């Protein structure tokens, strides 16, 4: 820890300005300064150095909003030509009667004021020793000027006619006005970066100048409304981008400012010790800095300081929760400091009025315009997370539940009942703290979430039995049972979810270790059970090999069943159901939108845009007339043959006997499933379910599908490398030199392998995943290797599957190829298909929509196929392999479901 005096050096320059701008102005600043000087030597040296600059999430948010607004503006200008033209005509009619003298006078005054106002503000800032802000503003102005020049060049050279009409006005001499005003955008960026908009007097002057300049240019016919809006957006966006990139000057109050603020509200502090905070848990990262302050007379105080930087922490997480969760309200993503102060004070008073043990709030105050402090009576306890397991008695757990009962009697929700929020003093009395994120007049759903959270928090420390028993003793069975539908990870705090994930990883590791131990024990027993030498011994060994392998599988399954553990939430549900068996346990749906759904929507929108752009450019009449329907029929035949190949590739890794016909139907049903789920996910789940219904044990079914996927991945990589090598040698067959793309790909893979092996975290992650893969999949592959017929079926199915898809794509290309169309080799088509299929499997969209179409089209164009042929060929290929099989897949899915085979 560094002394506060050293920490205060980081904001020595901006602080006088902040005090000068405060309501109390000169008197408050002089009082705080004198108190600082008087108490400087008495501040405890525990305050860490503060960074000179901070990167505010609010600046990043404004940057993203500005970029989105610019994109929307260009979209409107491009697609709403009638609207932009009508708006310009209305403005010209409305301003056409303005006197010419008034227009010239307004233009002269505004052009002078736009230059003088920034200079005047810079002089004022330099007088107050705030040169850093001026430097930020100059940098933002330079960057805005560069963006302006780039935008003008793009609009003049590459933009569509509608965009040019919306942003420019014709001028004498066959010239056009600038799309973005080169002098106005830098001025806006400068004034935004230096913070003029946050000062009332300067803000009024700023808006008057901007409006006057816009009026003069519009009436004079030198610009358009869209050009003015674009100029403002560019200046505003570049300013906040600059502020986020370089950081804003840190004006956070230090320990010495805290001491001065306490003296200002009537206390006489002696020392201020910074309290040790728990590790950042994500959902509590904005609770403020805490100090233990000793006074000249009386007990010590607990003081919480909240500033703008800490208040903005976790902003994007809160925004995501507001967007994705439904059914209950959350506080605003970013509150003003006044709102945060009032909310915490209200919750503190309401909790004590409800009879709960909460720290008593005795004073509040502002520490300048960028921070507030809340002064509490000192409790002197330790949090539940800091207690040893032996110290958490049943009385302590019941005391925590009594505080929740008191809060809920007045409809107060805490919203953060983690271990950090429960405090136990040296007498065993339980207090509830961190009420700032709470809610008064809360609904039933939020109150039940508090119960579910505290059940999980206490269950993590004392186990589910004691946690549920204490809750039942205080709240009663009905109240506890009502929270079971809310007992799900999404309803819990972020730190609690992280703990549950860690426990889940530990359980999985124990299960894997048990399976490996059972497998090793069976192998050692088989090695010890040696058979006599000679022909009779070898025959006996061969006869008993199958029996021993089956016994080993049973031993591994039994070990897995014995090692399998319930997660904590399931154990809590089971304990509650012992008391209330009829309690509802079906989870309440809290997610408004899932991340996968959002990604699918975004990818689908991109795919739709890509397809629409391709469709609008294609002349379907000519395409249909020129299509070779014989090749279309061949593409359809190859698509149908792919389901037979897929069935072979699956059954080749299933030693058990499974009907080949039903397996083909299951693969056809998969064409329907992959429309509603990502391709790599839907097919795995459907094949696993099908094998289980066909009599294969669950563990073996998962291992078989995993072995098929693993072998398919290896086959895919080998084929991609082989065909890529052949593609590179086509032009120079005598040298057999691979293409530069293949070499670059191999070098990239090598670099990635080196990076993974060099970074401990990545190495541990890969080793853990590979170990879990070898625990179940590799033994299954060893079983298949001992059956050459099965292995040949699996390998042949995978090669046939790739071959028929390549032939289908080739037939689709030939269906639209003319006499002048260059002929592509099968190696080139295979490389394009394998690369596009890999992207489709990685894309989180149903059937790889968007990613596959784009990759295949760009790949075919890259290998020399004209765009006029590549686009309809890809559409035909996707029609045959993705869209046409949907209806047969739906019929097969329903048929297998009715038969109980899915």
Per-residue pLDDT reduced to its tens digit, 16-63: 333 333 333 333 333 333 444 333 334 444 455 556 677 777 788 888
| Secondary structure of 156-225 in HEC code, one letter for each residue | HHCCCHHHHHHHCCEECCCEECCCCCCCHHHHHHHHHHCCHHHCHHHHHHHHHHHHHHHHHHHHCCCCCH
Distance CA 613, CA 611 (A): 5
What DSSP string runs through 816-877?
Answer: H--TTSPPPPHHHHHHHHHHHHHHHHHSSSBTTTTHHHHHHHHHHHHTT--HHHHHHHHHHH
Which range, of 257-261, 309-313, 351-355, 857-861, averages the lowest pLDDT? 309-313
Q: Is the pLDDT of residue 396 over 90?
A: yes
Q: Is the pLDDT of residue 149 over 80?
A: yes
Question: Are the C-beta atoms of 472 and 441 separated by less than 8 Å?
Answer: no
Distance CA 455, CA 785 (A): 50
Question: Are the C-beta atoms of 359 and 376 separated by less than 8 Å?
Answer: yes
Number of neighbours of residue 632 by Cβ within 10 angstroms: 18
Number of neighbours of residue 424 by Cβ within 10 angstroms: 23
Q: Which residue has the tokens 């609008």?
A: 616
Question: Are the C-beta atoms of 479 and 451 separated by less than 8 Å?
Answer: yes
Query: Bridge-partner residues for 292, per DSSP?
Result: 273, 302
Question: Are the C-beta atoms of 66 and 240 separated by less than 8 Å?
Answer: yes
Q: Determine the Cα angle at 711 with ends 705 and 715, to 5°.
A: 140
Span 791-825, pLDDT tens digits: 788 888 888 988 899 899 989 888 888 777 777 88
Distance CA 406, CA 420 (A): 19
| C-alpha closest to that of 219 among 113, 110, 114 | 110
Q: What is the pLDDT of residue 404?
A: 94
Q: Residue 282 — pLDDT band, cuts 50, 70, 90?
A: very low
Q: What is the pLDDT of residue 19?
A: 34
Q: Residue 9 — pLDDT band, cuts 50, 70, 90?
A: very low
DSSP 287: S
Q: What is the pLDDT of residue 5?
A: 35
Distances (CA, A) of 69 to 80, 226, 320, 702: 16, 12, 20, 48
Question: Are the C-beta atoms of 58 and 312 separated by less than 8 Å?
Answer: yes
Q: What is the pLDDT of residue 841?
A: 63
Burial code (b: 16+ CB inside 10 Å, e: under 16) for 161-192 equals ebbebbbbbeeeeeeebbbbbeebbbbbbbbb
Helix (H, G, I), strand (E, B) or coil at 381: coil
Span 711-736, pLDDT tens digits: 777 777 777 777 766 665 554 444 43
Q: What is the pLDDT of residue 496?
A: 92
Share of the chain above pLDDT 90, in %: 14
Which range, of 287-296, 521-530, 593-602, averages the lowest pLDDT? 593-602
Q: 54 φ, ψ to 5°? A: -130, 150
Q: Count H helices and E strands in the chain, helices first.
A: 35, 12
Helix (H, G, I), strand (E, B) or coil at 362: strand
Q: What is the pLDDT of residue 24?
A: 34
Q: What is the pLDDT of residue 728?
A: 55
Choice between 842 and 489, residue whose per-residue pLDDT is larger: 489
Q: Is the pLDDT of residue 508 over 50?
A: yes
Q: 439 φ, ψ to 5°? A: -150, 135
Q: What is the pLDDT of residue 185?
A: 84
Burial code (b: 16+ CB inside 10 Å, e: under 16) for 46-63 equals bbeebeeebebbbbbbbb
Q: Is the pLDDT of residue 217 over 90?
A: no
Write the CB contacts of 86 (distance below 8 Å, at least 6 apart in sequence).
none
DSSP 313: T
Average pLDDT over residues 321-329: 62
Q: What is the pLDDT of residue 481?
A: 92
Q: Residue 76 — pLDDT band, cuts 50, 70, 90?
A: confident
Distance CA 671, CA 887 (A): 9
Q: What is the pLDDT of residue 820?
A: 74
User: Which helix (H) or strand (E) is 705 found in, with range?
Assistant: helix 698-729
Q: What is the pLDDT of residue 452?
A: 93
Average pLDDT over residues 648-658: 84
Choice between 302 and 684, residue whose per-residue pLDDT is larger: 302
Distance CA 771, CA 313 (A): 38
Helix (H, G, I), strand (E, B) or coil at 305: strand
Name the pairing type of β-strands 53-54 and 248-249: antiparallel
Q: Residue 707 — pLDDT band, cuts 50, 70, 90?
A: confident
Question: Are the C-beta atoms of 368 and 257 separated by less than 8 Å?
Answer: yes
Q: What is the pLDDT of residue 650?
A: 87
End-to-end CA distance of the chain: give it in Å, rounded.
63
Per-range mean pLDDT, top range of 172-176, 437-441, 836-840: 437-441
Distances (CA, A) of 847 to 324, 429, 601, 858: 24, 58, 13, 18
What does R_g of the chain's alpha carbons equal in angstroms? Answer: 35
Burial code (b: 16+ CB inside 10 Å, e: under 16) for 212-237 equals bbbbbbbbbbebbbbbbbbbbbbbbb
Span 524-543, pLDDT tens digits: 776 666 555 555 656 665 66
What DSSP string runs through 96-164?
Answer: TTS-HHHHHHHHHHHHHHHHHHHHHHHHHHHHTT-HHHHHHHHHHHHHHHHHHHHHHHHHHHTS-HHHH
Question: What is the rounded (10 degree) CA torsion for 410, 411, 416, 417?
Answer: 60
Distances (CA, A) of 543 to 453, 493, 816: 58, 57, 59
Tokens of 499: 């703990």
Distance CA 752, CA 183 (A): 47
Choice between 654 and 839, residue whose per-residue pLDDT is larger: 654
DSSP 653: T
Question: Are the C-beta atoms of 831 and 838 separated by less than 8 Å?
Answer: no
Which range, of 46-60, 182-196, 421-435, 862-876, averages the lowest pLDDT? 46-60
Burial code (b: 16+ CB inside 10 Å, e: under 16) for 331-363 equals bebbbebeebbebbbebbebbeebebbbbebeb
Q: What is the pLDDT of residue 817?
A: 80
Q: What is the pLDDT of residue 26?
A: 36
């Amino acid at each position: 820890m560094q002394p506060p005096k050293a920490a205060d050096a980081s904001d020595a320059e901006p602080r006088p300005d902040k005090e000068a701008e405060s309501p109390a102005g000169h008197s408050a600043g002089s009082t705080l300064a004198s108190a600082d000087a008087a108490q400087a030597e008495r501040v405890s040296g525990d305050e860490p150095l503060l960074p000179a600059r901070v990167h505010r999430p609010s600046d990043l948010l404004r940057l993203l909003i500005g970029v989105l607004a610019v994109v929307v503006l260009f979209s409107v200008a491009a697609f709403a030509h009638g609207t932009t033209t009508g708006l310009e005509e209305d403005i010209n009619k409305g301003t056409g009667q303005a006197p010419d003298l008034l227009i010239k006078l307004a233009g002269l005054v505004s052009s002078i004021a736009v230059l003088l106002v920034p200079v005047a503000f810079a002089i004022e800032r330099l007088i107050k020793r705030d040169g850093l802000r001026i430097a930020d503003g100059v940098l933002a102005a330079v960057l805005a000027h560069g963006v302006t020049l780039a935008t003008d060049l793009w609009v003049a050279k590459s933009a569509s006619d509608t965009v040019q009409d919306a942003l420019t006005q014709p001028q004498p001499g066959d010239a056009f006005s600038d799309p973005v005003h080169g002098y106005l955008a830098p001025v806006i960026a400068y004034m935004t970066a230096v913070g003029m908009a946050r000062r009332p007097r300067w803000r009024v002057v700023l808006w008057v100048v901007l409006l006057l300049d816009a009026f003069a240019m519009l009436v004079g016919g030198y610009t358009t409304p869209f050009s003015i809006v674009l100029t403002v957006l560019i200046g505003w966006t570049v300013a906040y981008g600059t502020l986020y990139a370089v950081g804003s000057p840190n004006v956070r109050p230090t320990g010495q400012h805290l001491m001065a603020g306490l003296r200002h509200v009537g206390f006489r502090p002696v020392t201020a010790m910074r309290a040790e905070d728990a590790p950042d848990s994500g959902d509590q990262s904005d609770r403020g800095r805490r100090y233990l302050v000793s006074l000249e007379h009386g007990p010590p105080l607990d003081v919480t300081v909240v500033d703008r930087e800490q208040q903005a922490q976790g902003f994007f997480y809160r925004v995501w929760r507001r967007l994705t969760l439904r059914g209950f309200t959350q506080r605003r993503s970013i509150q003003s400091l006044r709102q945060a102060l009032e909310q915490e004070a209200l919750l503190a008073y309401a909790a004590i009025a409800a009879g709960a043990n909460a720290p008593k709030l005795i004073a509040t105050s502002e520490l300048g315009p960028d921070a507030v402090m809340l002064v509490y009576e000192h409790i002197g306890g330790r949090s539940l997370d800091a207690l040893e397991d032996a110290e958490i008695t049943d009385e302590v757990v019941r005391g925590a539940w009594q505080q929740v009962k008191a809060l809920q009697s007045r409809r107060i929700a805490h919203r953060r009942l983690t271990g950090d929020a429960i405090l136990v003093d040296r007498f065993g009395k339980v207090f509830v703290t961190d009420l700032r994120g709470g809610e008064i007049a809360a609904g039933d759903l939020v109150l039940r979430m508090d119960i579910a959270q505290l059940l999980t928090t206490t269950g993590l420390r004392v186990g589910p039995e004691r946690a549920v028993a204490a809750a039942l003793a205080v709240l009663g069975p009905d109240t506890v049972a009502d929270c079971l539908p809310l007992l799900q990870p999404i309803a819990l705090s972020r730190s609690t979810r992280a703990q549950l994930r860690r426990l889940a990883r530990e359980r999985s590791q124990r299960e894997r270790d048990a399976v490996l131990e059972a497998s090793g024990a069976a192998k050692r027993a088989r090695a010890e059970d040696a058979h006599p030498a000679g022909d009779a011994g070898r025959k006996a060994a061969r006869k008993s090999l199958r029996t021993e392998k089956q016994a080993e599988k049973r031993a591994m399954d039994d070990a897995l069943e014995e090692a399998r553990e319930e997660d904590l939430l399931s154990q809590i549900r089971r304990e509650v159901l012992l008391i209330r068996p009829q309690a509802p346990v079906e989870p309440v749906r809290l997610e408004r939108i899932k991340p996968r759904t959002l990604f699918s929507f975004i990818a689908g929108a991109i795919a739709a845009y890509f397809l629409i752009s391709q469709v609008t450019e294609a002349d379907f009449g000519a395409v249909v007339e020129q299509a070779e329907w014989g090749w279309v029929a061949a593409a359809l035949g190859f698509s149908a043959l792919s389901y037979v190949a897929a069935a072979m590739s699956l059954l080749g890794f299933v030693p058990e006997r499974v009907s080949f016909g039903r397996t083909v139907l299951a693969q056809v049903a998969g064409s329907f499933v992959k429309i509603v789920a990502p391709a790599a996910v839907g097919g795995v789940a459907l094949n696993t379910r099908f094998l289980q219904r066909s009599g294969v044990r669950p563990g073996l079914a998962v291992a078989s599908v995993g072995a098929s996927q693993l072998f398919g991945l290896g086959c895919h990589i080998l084929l991609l490398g082989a065909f890529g090598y052949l593609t590179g040698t086509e032009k120079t067959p005598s040298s057999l030199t691979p293409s530069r793309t293949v070499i670059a790909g191999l070098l990239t893979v090598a670099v990635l392998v080196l990076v993974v092996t060099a970074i401990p975290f990545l190495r541990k992650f890969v080793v853990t995943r590979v170990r879990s893969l070898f625990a179940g999949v590799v033994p299954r592959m060893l079983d298949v290797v001992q059956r050459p017929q099965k292995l040949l079926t699996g390998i042949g199915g995978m090669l046939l599957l790739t071959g028929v898809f390549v032939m289908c794509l080739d037939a689709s290309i030939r269906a639209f190829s003319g006499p002048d169309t260059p002929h592509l080799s099968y190696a080139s088509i295979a490389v394009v298909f394998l690369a596009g299929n890999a992207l489709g499997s990685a894309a989180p969209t149903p059937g790889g929509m968007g990613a596959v179409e784009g990759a295949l089209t760009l790949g075919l164009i890259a290998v020399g196929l004209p765009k006029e042929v590549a686009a309809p060929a890809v559409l035909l290929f996707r029609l045959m392999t993705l869209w046409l099989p949907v209806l047969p897949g739906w019929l097969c899915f329903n048929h297998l479901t009715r038969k109980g085979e899915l």
